[in-house]
Structure 1
Amino acid sequence: MVRAYRHHPYHGRNPLPQTVVASWLRITQAQLSRVENGPPLVHLDRLAHWATLLGIPSSRLWFALPHLPTAATDLATKNHEEGATTNRRQFHAVAALAGITPTGCFELLAPRADPPPTVGMEQVRYAGSLVDEFRKADAEAGADTLCDIAMQVHERLSAWAAKAAYSRSVADALQSSLADLAIQAAWLAIDADRRAEARPYLNEAIARARIADDSRVEVRALACMSLLLREDRPGEAVHCAEAALRASAGFTTPRLRTLLHLRAAYAYATLRDTFSFDREITRARRAFDGGSHEDDPPFISFVTAQEVTGIQGLSYLALERPDRAADCFRAVTGSPSATHRRNNVYYTVQLARAASQHGDVGEAVLAGMRALPEVGQVRSGRVARLLADVRSRLAVAGRSAPPALNFVEAYDRAMA
């Protein structure tokens, strides 16, 4: 579309130079060239997301737009009808929990606050700081509590950034900060078990990172995309992990390589490619042996020895080896991480799943009972769904193994 505009006869015999149009878009000529000459977009969900954002009539599209509103759409509609993009009271409550201090920039999130006419580095730093604050709040409040709030904040900041003027020096930093915020919203959607809502944020993050030529943010987005796709589209998940490895070649650290090889290993296991899984899990363990590094990005702090073993266990589950998966989860839960409570609960539930699939009802019940009082406190829809799956399996097993019914009854009481 941009190229067609540049070559339109309205502009005369010669097309508008890329340098001129790039300056309007606040990107470089090289970036605009990649936009115009890159491979055609084929992902319908990304196309549908952009068509919705741009308000393109369905009659002008060769594909159908989804008609079922998501929870985020419902919430955004509700807020719009109330004349507010952000639920101020709800955000203030979580802001207090996260330690976000009321500053002049904080007022940008007020429901009826006018967007600033210009954006400077102060606002960019503020947008970037929100990522850290949401990460801290996630550990305290859980994704179920924060997901809608993060989506609303992202929408608000993206809206005022789109309308405001800013210098070329601010442009790339702003794109990177908004991309980071989009990735954080996507992660919260994944952990809240609202996976369908996560991908548009990651698509946006990748686009913003490429506009800003920010490989570090792009790698984080690709790693999160691989996590999102690893069960439903494992082939794409492998490609995302491999693309992240290539993009990070100039600045990668052992822990970052560990994470990306783990992403690929799980996806290969889902594809039932045992050879490639073994290769990637071996590479992940070798990279992990390289230790931590001062350049490790903050988002990989969860990549611990327990996480490596846990992902190996998840991969064995995907390969239909619940016996070996249970061994891995047993090792993880036997020496839990002191700083990653949610992961401890998650792998305890996975132990219950693996044991129930292996036919060890006794261990499944014990693990399920250990996890039950914790699940409500970590507020992770993803973990809650997995525990519900354990309950369903043990309800069936209870016909021949009465102890399983003890867990079913305890689960039902807790949920009630």
Structure 2
Amino acid sequence: MEHIRLAGSLVERFRQADAALGADELCDVAIGAHTRLSAWAASSRYGREVGDALQSALADLANQVAWLAVDANRRQHARPYLNDAITRARIADDPHEEVRALACLSLLSREDHPAESLHCAEAALRASRGWATARLRTLLRLRTAHAYAHLNDVGGFNREMAKARNEFDHGPHEDDLPFLQFVTAQELTGIQGLSHLALGKLARAAESFRAISSGPPAGHRRNHIYYTVRLAEAELRCGDIHSAAHTGLRTLPEVKALNSGRTMRHFAQVRSHLSRAQSVPAREFIDAYRTAFQK
């Protein structure tokens, strides 16, 4: 049990480092830890109490590995770990980890398979009925809202977004699961902005991201930088080359110091679009980008 508690503390350290720095350098470490703990679980003898605790710890770690794979831009590696998390959560009769895995599956499938994303979020809502805190319901409503946006269902998005805000207004609770720490006002505004992007409401998306970019990181530095990069993308799609270049130039040092392949992928897309522009700010950004990221 002491080793299992140690594994749980390791997941928390992964979570804290990821929020501050991004997942690129953490992902392989977490995969290695999951592999070793899985081997231990398969080869050791233990009673029911230890067995259930071990399966829950492995589900927790698998969920964390899946998220780290998403942020490290290694999305293809995430789904097997989420399937593993759901299986182990069922074995241990741990609905918390099962719901967390379903929420992450909703995020993972949102862009390519939005109907599946919606089904996963709705399944998580059903599975958590009766015990979910307001913060968990907030996250699951955000997942459904964003899935509706990718399905181009404006009514569904507006309805679920309103429910998410209503749940968020109930505030935190002592029973909130540790992984919900990122569900802040910044995250609500960020998902709103991403949803407006998916719906083609570019000015409203830029407005949401600008509200995040102008505020403090609120303890989640990586997310703050990610949404600022998405601001540059929204400004580009609005045709505002000047603002996009200035946003990109302003956030470039932070992106360089980050280890988030997902954030870097979007930043590289901003660079690609600005490289075709002829304005002075765009050229300044391209020169700075080349200097910062040259091999």
Q: What are the superposed Cα offsets for residues 292-332 of structure 1, whole Å, 9 maximum, x if unpaired?
A: 11111111111111110110000000111111100111111
User: Is residue 225 from structure 1 mapped to residue 105 from structure 2 by the alignment?
Assistant: yes
Separation in 2 of the partners of 1:305 and 1:171? 38
3-state SS of 1:382 partner: helix
2:272 pairs with 1:389: no
Q: C-alpha displacement at 1:402, in angstroms?
A: 3.8
Question: In structure 1, how many angstroms separate the alpha carbons of the residues matched to 2:269 and 2:188?
Answer: 24
- Structure-2 residue corresponding to 1:311: 191
Match of 1:414 among 286, 292, 295: 292
TM norm structure 1: 0.69
**After superposition, where does 1:146-165 map in structure 2 within 5 Å?**
146-165=26-45
**Structure 1 residue identity aligned to 2:166:** R
Which whole-Å CA distance do the structure 2 matches of 1:316 and 1:136 have between them?
29
TM-score (norm 2): 0.96
Kindly tell me: are residues 323 and 413 of structure 1, through their superposed partners in 2, closer, same or farther at Cα, counting changes over 3 Å? Answer: same
Letter in 2 for 1:158: S
In structure 1, distance between residues paired with 2:161 and 2:183? 14
The question of 1:375 aligning with 2:255 is answered yes
2:61 aligned residue: 181
Are residues 301 and 160 of structure 1, via their aligned partners in 2, closer, same or farther at CA, if it must alter by over 3 Å? same
Give the corresponding residue for 1:404.
Answer: 282
- Larger deviation: 135-144 or 166-175? 135-144
Kindly report which structure 2 residues correspond to 1:34-45, keeping only aligned pairs within 5 A, or say none. none
4+ residue runs of structure 1 moved beyond 4 angstroms?
Answer: none
Q: Distance in 1 between matches of 2:208 and 2:17?
A: 29
Gaps of 5+ in 1: 1-120
1:140/1:255 CA distance change after superposition, 3 Å:
closer
User: Which residue in 1 is equivalent to 2:17?
Assistant: 137
1:415 to partner: Cα distance: 0.6
Deviations along 1:33-52, whole A, 9 cap, x unmatched?
xxxxxxxxxxxxxxxxxxxx
- More displaced 10-residue stretch of structure 1: 122-131 or 251-260: 122-131
Residue of structure 2 in register with 1:364 after alignment: 244
Q: What is residue 265 of structure 1 aligned with on the other side?
A: 145
How far off is 1:140 after superposition? 4.9
Q: 2: distance between equivalents of 1:389 and 1:142?
A: 19
- Match of 1:198, SS? helix
Structure 1 position 280 matched with structure 2 position 187: no
SS of residue paired to 2:204: helix
1:24-173 correspondence runs (5 A): 121-173=1-53
Residue 114 of structure 2 is aligned to residue 234 of structure 1: yes
2:224 matched to which residue of 1?
A: 344
**What is the distance in 2 between the residues matched to 1:255 and 1:395?**
41
- Greater share of residues in helix: 2
Q: For 2:100 and 2:232, locate their aligned partners in 1 and report how far apart those are by CA, in whole Å.
A: 31
Q: CA 1:141/1:341 → structure 2, altered by over 3 Å: closer, same or farther?
A: closer
Q: Which runs of 5 or more residues in structure 2 are unaligned?
A: none
RMSD, matched Cα: 1.2
Letter in 1 for 2:261: G
Q: Residue 374 and residue 254 in structure 1: after superposition, are their counterparts in 2 closer, same or farther (change >3 A)? A: same
CA offsets, 1:83-133, max 9 Å, x none? xxxxxxxxxxxxxxxxxxxxxxxxxxxxxxxxxxxxxx2222222222112
Cα distance in 1, alignment partners of residues 238 and 185 from structure 2: 25
**2:123 pairs with 1:246:** no
Cα displacement (A) at 1:191? 0.4
AA partner of residue 288 (structure 2): A
In the alignment, what sits opposite 1:101?
none
CA shift in 2, pair 1:140/1:286, >3 Å: closer
Whether the 8 Å CA contact 1:348–1:370 is kept in 2: the answer is no
Query: Which has the larger Rg?
Result: 1
Supply the AA of the counterpart residue of 1:222. Answer: L
Contact 1:362 1:403 in 2 (8 A): yes
2-side partners of 1:338 and 1:414: how far apart? Answer: 27
Q: Tell me which residue corresponds to 1:198.
A: 78
More contact order relative to length (CA 8 Å, sep ≥ 6) = 2
1:321 alignment partner in structure 2: 201
Task: Tell whether the 8 Å contact from 2:20 to 2:219 is kept in structure 1 after alignment.
Answer: no
Partner of 1:99: none
Cα displacement (A) at 1:337: 2.7
The correspondence for 2:95, drawn from 215, 236, 240, is 215
Q: After the TM superposition, which residues 11-26 of structure 1 pair with which residues of structure 2 at under 5 Å, given as runs?
A: none
**Distance in 2, Cα, partners of 1:376 & 1:150:** 23
1:352 is paired with a residue whose SS is: helix
